[in-house]
Amino acid sequence: MTMQWVDNPWFYALAIPALILNGISKGGLGGGVGSVSVPMMALAIPPSQAAAIMLPILCVMDLPAIHAYFGRWDKAQMRIIIPAGLLGIAVGTLTFRYLNESWLRILLGVISIGFVLNSIRRKNPDAARPTRAKGWFWCSISGYTSFVAHSGGPPLTVYLLPQKLDKTVFVATSVIFFSVGNYVKIVPYMWLGLFDTRNLATSAMLFPVGIAGVYLGVWLHKRLSQALFYRIVYVLLLGTGAKLLYDGLTRL
């Protein structure tokens, strides 16, 4: 049997930079910039197909990211954010066929932009004390949006960023949260019929691009000061939010 893959050149023109951005985000910058991957790919192919192609790539990209940050995550946070994320994935599984992706993008965009603008308004805010209620709220949203569009970065960042964690702890915690979620999503994606030979073959072709992006992110992480790191995260979160909001409004 001949293996086929997506043959639209515009898809690859969008997918390659999207995967590099996602890899950089996963490998060291965090902040939700990886959330632009599916919206970018969806300019050339259906969003559900873009999500299906992305998931195997994300699972492969998770492996070097876990290796780079193993054991550096915030263990107390894991007891809150992992169960909340799994709850969001479960809700996403049950509602996937009924979703309006435009309104989902709008919601994510408003959350991201609103958070950045509020942080600028506050000027040098003190680190916020985490609460279980905030963790369950934002991380269940993150799990939900991660399931439907691999766009869980902004809600998780809204919860983690005010705590002013060490940059390595911040990235490591994010890496483990999304790694667990990505591997859990495999079974629901299969159940929903999102995987086919064309999508899987396309994923396999793009594996090297995603892995290269992760190592680039790790390299950048080691060379950025913590202050510069958080400035970059704010900028990336603002850009991600603007992109998601624009996509949602233009597709209504």
Let me know if residue 57 belongs to a domain: yes
Let me know if residue 219 belongs to a domain: yes
- Could you give the dihedral angle defined by the CA atoms of residues 60, 151, 238 and 203, in that order, rounded to the nearest 10 degrees? 40
**CB-count exposure of residue 207 (10 Å: 0-12, 13-18, 19+):** middle
Q: Which domain holds residue 47?
A: 9-250
Let me know if residue 1 belongs to a domain: no
Report how far residue 66's alpha carbon sits from residue 72's, in angstroms, rounded to the nearest whole number.
10
Query: Residue 70 above 70 pLDDT?
Result: yes
* pLDDT tens string 204-217: 999 999 999 888 88
Q: Both tokens of residue 214?
A: 């992760």
- Identify the residue with better confidence: 86 or 65: 86
* pLDDT tens string 3-24: 688 888 889 998 998 898 888 8
Query: Residue 122 above 70 pLDDT?
Result: no
Let me know if residue 4 belongs to a domain: no
Let me know if residue 128 belongs to a domain: yes
What's residue 127's pLDDT? 64
Global pTM reads: 0.82
Let me know if residue 137 belongs to a domain: yes
Query: Residue 59 above 70 pLDDT?
Result: yes
Q: Which residues contact 23 (CB under 8 A, 6 or more apart)?
A: 34, 61, 209, 210, 211, 212, 213, 214, 215, 216, 217
Let me know if residue 25 belongs to a domain: yes
What's residue 110's pLDDT? 85
Least confident of 27-41, 95-109, 166-180, 230-244: 27-41
Average pLDDT over residues 127-142: 87
Report how far residue 115's alpha carbon sits from residue 241's, in angstroms, rounded to the nearest whole number.
10
Let me know if residue 59 belongs to a domain: yes
- In the chain, the amino acid numbered 49 is Q
What's residue 173's pLDDT? 93
Tokens 């000027």 found at: 123
Domain count, the chain: 1
- pLDDT more than 90, % of the chain: 37
